[in-house]
Amino acid sequence: MRKFITTLFAFAVALTAVVFICNRNYFPAKAKGNDGYMGAMVDKHHFADSHQSPRIIFCGGSNIAFGINSKRIQDSTGLPTVNLGTTGSLGLDFILNEARRTARLKDIIIISSEYYLSNDGSYAAKKEALRIYPPAGKYFKQTPQQWLHDFFVEDLQRNLTVTLSTLLHVQRKGFPTNVVYSRSSFNENGDVVRSFDPHPSHEFLKTFDLKYKLNPNIQLLNDFKDYADKNGMAVYFIYPSFPQSLYNANAKVIDAYERDMQSGIKIKILNHPKDALFADSLFYDTEYHLVPQGRELRTDKIIELLRKEKIARR
Amino acid sequence: MLFNSLNFALFVPVVFALYWFVTQKNLTLQNLLLLVASYFFYACWDYRFLFLLIFSTLLDFFTGSKIFAAKTTAGKKFWLWLSVGINLGFLGVFKYYNFFAGSFSDLLSHFGMRAGFNTINVILPVGISFYTFHGLSYVFDIYRGRITPVKSFIEYSVFVSFFPLLVAGPIERATHLLPQIQQKRRFNYSQAVNGLKQILWGLFKKIAIADNCAEFANMIFNHHEQYPGSVLVMGALFFTIQIYCDFSGYSDIALGTARLFGMELLRNFAYPYFSRDIAEFWRRWHISLSSWFKDYLYIPLGGSKGGLWQRIRNTFIIFLVSGFWHGANWTFLAWGFLNAVYFLPLLLTNRNRSNMEIVAKGRLLPSLSEFLKMLLTFSLTVFAWIFFRAESIGQAFSYIGKIFSRSILTVPSGEAFEGASFHVVAIIILSIMFMLMEWLGREEQFAIAGTGMRWPKPARWAFYISIAVLTFYFTGVQQQFVYFQF
């Protein structure tokens, strides 16, 4: 038995050593670039860091990325406006941690999370965000199981492919840079501004279905409010943009969601779900992604809300 | 808890340590540990069905001793049929009720009648087809006087529920496994190392080959109307490789794991795709099920003895039942029927036992005749798998119809694989390498059992590490084991 255990242990060590050697990134320049959608995180943070407070920081999922014209908000408030939104698949916890990392004294943070957004988000999305924007490592949590999977599978697959294709001179396709979901689609404030496909699929209008459940976001939002109060920041919440027909079909659930939010969160809510409804034709490829015309309409509404709060002057 | 999951990779060492370091001095305690571990393993799937498993175990344990104790043949028969009736009753309700209700309703609707059958919304308990057959073999063997009932319920329960074989076999026989459970096990270094090698090979088959082939097979079968015949042929080939690597990979992990606990399970696969005729294929594919049906159904029906019509009848019965065992769908029946049609000429010409030896034994390459026979058998098998994989008979015929059209001459393009052409080429190369490994190792219990035995240790280890790294590298979307649904 001792021989078996010793041999097994030695084999495990040898295997781990080989995997360690194989899963290193030996050709960083050849690694898949950061030109993808998430690559915009770097630019958003760069923009935020290069402006002094007070600033307006919008955070949320893709309803924010696709849903505001930050430059117009900037013009109307006179405050540098940062759109931190990328995707809801990062989860609200990650999104709020990004806001914590970015916000400073006197900043105004406007949160717009999608309905029943997951707190934890997708591990793959967070890992991709971490790869592109390493400071996110401070709030990136990994279970031992995920660590093992990354070490033995994910990193091995990615880096060994780069190593082999470089050594064997195999040409690999780069990331497409001329599509909506790419880094180059964002303007300097962080809004998605690329021209969209004129005939997107509206399949989501048939398949979307919202189910009532206890709102998982309230505690996180309240924790964030406490953090903002302690650090001299103002926080507001606005509901995400949403298609009229889907609201009609899910009105009961969304009304219940709103009631839970009103009674649960300490953050000041500036609007109602009904105020964020737009015609179905103003949506691109999901229930939260507005086309440019919709984005302008929503921006008008947001500026009006900010005016009421005496944040916007024009 | 899948065999190819981290949970299983943690579960086995814990049970192994308790088994060999804590309970090794007391056989009852060791068996009790195996039973608790097996029930825990099963409960990880769905704890509610654990009660069904325990009930089935109790039933066969009880009826087994009643059969043995009964003084008259009528008494023995009563207890036997009680066990068979209840066991098959459960199987019928959970696995076949919806099929029969639906098919009967469809039939009546053809005659303009409406049947009031409601389908029931039940989940098929994992492993029910396997543990039911374990129990049935036990009562059948007692009835026939081959064995005497066991006295210890724990020993019997381990026989039914031993975790490596619980959810997808091999379907064990009481005569084979029970004596191993009843006697003290000693740790055997060679057996354990062999077990680990078999687990490694099983994981490679499942993760690197089967799961990747499944990705393309699913894509092609699910959208077969969009593809030319040549791609559909590739789809059928992908499924052929997938189902073999999936199920034999599972069996390898099961057999290897059992070896770590000092147990030898029945061999389930013996390189079936190198068979020279269908009869040989069925002696090499899912051996534990084929031999179960042979012993408990085919031979009691008269087997290959008797008149012409009796032999034909028996052949069709066994293949149709075998097909139906796989699932409640006409596609499985069609698959069974097709195999019966393949098998029948061999039986009727008394050539069904002409290829008993390993092909090209002691030689590197087969003769041309052997190669052509293997190619023909493989092609027939691929064709039959189309029925097995299809969602319905209609889909199978539509799939086959498209294969036998002009589009079979179309050269498959990269676009057919939605931008995954590099990946598909890699999987094809890997599959070919795998088949070569299988060919080279066909005289062993599993392909890499004897590989590198004469090499220096570093070279041998490098070989095993390469297999492990390839497995990690080709890990894709984790797929359920195909046979778990049966």
What the block records as the tokens of B280 is 């040989």
Interface-testing mutation among B470, B472, B474, with chain A (most A C-beta atoms within 10 A): B472
B-chain residues within 8 Å CB-CB of A4?
187, 189, 192-193
CB atoms B189 and A3 under 8 Å: yes
Report CB contact under 8 Å: B6, A149. yes
A24 found inside a domain: no
Residues B46 and B94: beta-carbon distance below 8 Å:
no
- Candidates B284, B286, B259, B260; CA nearest to B272 is B284
- The interface predicted TM-score of the complex, written ipTM, equals 0.84
Predicted pLDDT of residue A74: 94
In a domain, A26, yes or no: no
Answer yes or no: B286 catalytic: no
**The pTM is what?**
0.81
Q: Are residues B175 and B101 in the same domain?
A: yes
pLDDT at A156 over 70: yes
- Residue among B134, B224, B286, B326 flagged as catalytic: B326
Cβ–Cβ contacts within 10 Å for residue A141, how many? 10
**Pair (B126, B217) in one structural domain:** no
- B126 closest CA partner among B211, B41, B199: B41
Residue A97 predicted with pLDDT over 60: yes
- Same domain? For B206 and B134 the reply is no
* CA–CA distances in Å: residue B368 to residues B278, B365, B375, B441: 18, 9, 10, 20
Is any Cβ of chain A less than 8 angstroms from the Cβ of B459?
Answer: no
Q: Quote the number of domains for chain A.
A: 1
Chain B CB contacts of A152 under 8 Å are: 472
- Helix then strand then coil, in percent of chain A rounded to 5, is 55, 10, 40
B227 shares a domain with B130: no
Contact A4 B6 (CB under 8 A): no
How many other C-beta atoms are found inside a 10 Å radius of the C-beta of residue B379? 12
Averages of pLDDT over each 10 residues, chain B, 486 residues: 86 95 92 96 89 94 95 93 93 75 73 66 78 93 93 95 89 92 94 96 95 91 89 95 95 96 95 95 94 91 82 90 86 94 90 87 93 96 95 93 87 66 85 95 93 91 96 82 61
Is position B334 within any domain? no
Nearest-CB residue to B6 (from A1, A4, A145):
A145
User: What's the rounded Cα separation, in Å, for the pair B453 and B450?
Assistant: 6
Any domain includes B117: yes
pLDDT tens figures, A32-76: 667 788 889 999 999 999 999 899 999 999 999 999 999 999 999
Answer yes or no: is pLDDT of A31 > 80.
no
φ, ψ of residue B176 in degrees (nearest 5): -95, -50
Smallest CA–CA distance from A156 into chain B, residue? B473
Range of the domain at A190: 34-308
Q: A154: distance to nearest CA of chain B, Å? A: 8
- B90 and B56, same structural domain? yes
Q: How far is A113 from chain B, CA to nearest CA, in Å?
A: 30
Residue B187: closest C-alpha in chain A: A1
Q: Is B317 inside any structural domain? A: no
DSSP-derived secondary structure letter, B92: I
Same domain, B270 and B392: yes
Q: Is B486 exposed, middle or buried (0-12, 13-18, 19+ CB in 10 A)?
A: buried
B213 and B160, same structural domain?
A: no
Structure tokens at A301: 């509404």
Segments forming the whole domain that contains residue B442: 191-276+355-485
In this structure, are residues A88 and A114 in contact, taking their beta carbons and an 8 Å threshold?
A: yes
Q: Which tokens sit at A298?
A: 């929503």
- Identify whether A72 is part of a domain: yes
* Inter-chain contacts counted by CB atoms under 8 A, chains A and B: 36
Q: Is the peptide bond before A54 cis (omega within 30 degrees of 0)?
A: yes
Cβ pair B268, B292 in contact under 8 A: no
Shared domain for B19 and B86, answered yes or no, is yes
For residues A84 and A190, is the Cβ–Cβ distance under 8 A?
yes
Three-class SS of residue B155?
helix
Are the C-beta atoms of A288 and A273 separated by less than 8 Å?
Answer: no
- What lies within 8 Å, CB to CB, of A281 at 6+ separation is none
In a domain? residue A142: yes
DSSP per-residue letters across B332-357: HHHHHHHHHHHHHHHHHTT-TTS--S
Task: Say how many domains are in chain B.
Answer: 2
- The structure tokens listed for A157 are 């697959």
Q: CA-based angle B463:B246:B237, to the nearest 5?
A: 95
Secondary structure E strands in chain A? 56-60, 81-83, 108-112, 234-237, 242-243, 268-269, 277-278
Option in A14, A145, A157 nearest B473 (CB): A157
Q: Looking at beta carbons, which residues of chain B come within 8 Å of A146?
A: none
Per-residue model confidence as pLDDT tens digits over A187-235: 999 999 887 777 777 888 888 888 898 888 999 999 999 999 999 999 9
Task: Classify residue B236: in a domain, yes or no.
Answer: yes
CB contact under 8 A, B465 and A18: yes
Of A1, A11, A19, the CB nearest to B469: A19
Specify the pLDDT at position B256.
97
User: Is the minimum CB–CB distance between B193 and chain A shorter than 8 Å?
Assistant: yes
Residue B289 covered by a domain: no
The pLDDT value recorded for residue B292 is: 93
- Is B256 in the same domain as B151? no
Cross-chain residue pair B473–A8, CB shorter than 8 Å: no
Within-domain flag for B307: no
pLDDT (0 to 100) of residue A38: 87
Q: Are residues B83 and B214 in the same domain?
A: no
User: So what's the pLDDT on residue B231?
Assistant: 92
Q: Which of B421, B469, B477 to mutate to test the interface with A (most CBs of A within 10 A)?
A: B469
* The last residue of a domain, from among B158, B186, B214: B186
Tokens of A41: 């995180």
Of B427, B379, B388, B398, residue with least CA distance to B227: B398
Give every CB contact of residue B370 below 8 A, 6+ residues apart in sequence.
B276, B359, B360
Q: Do both B116 and B209 map to the same domain?
A: no
Domain membership flag for residue A25: no
Is residue A10 assigned to a domain? no
Q: How many residues does chain A have?
A: 314
Best CA proximity match to A19, nearest among B132, B319, B473, B232: B473
Q: What CATH code is carried by the domain that includes residue A295?
A: 3.40.50.1110
Same domain, B100 and B10: yes
Single residue among B162, B186, B210 that ends a domain in this structure: B186
Count of CB atoms situated within 10 Å of the CB of A206: 7
Question: Is the separation of the CB atoms in B265 and B149 below 8 Å?
Answer: no
What is the reported pLDDT for B243?
95
- Nearest Cα residue to A243 out of A213, A202, A192: A202
Domain boundary among B154, B186, B218: B186
Q: What is the pLDDT of chain A when averaged over all its residues?
A: 90
pLDDT digits (tens, 9 = 90+) for A250-301: 999 999 999 999 999 999 999 999 999 999 999 998 999 999 999 999 999 9
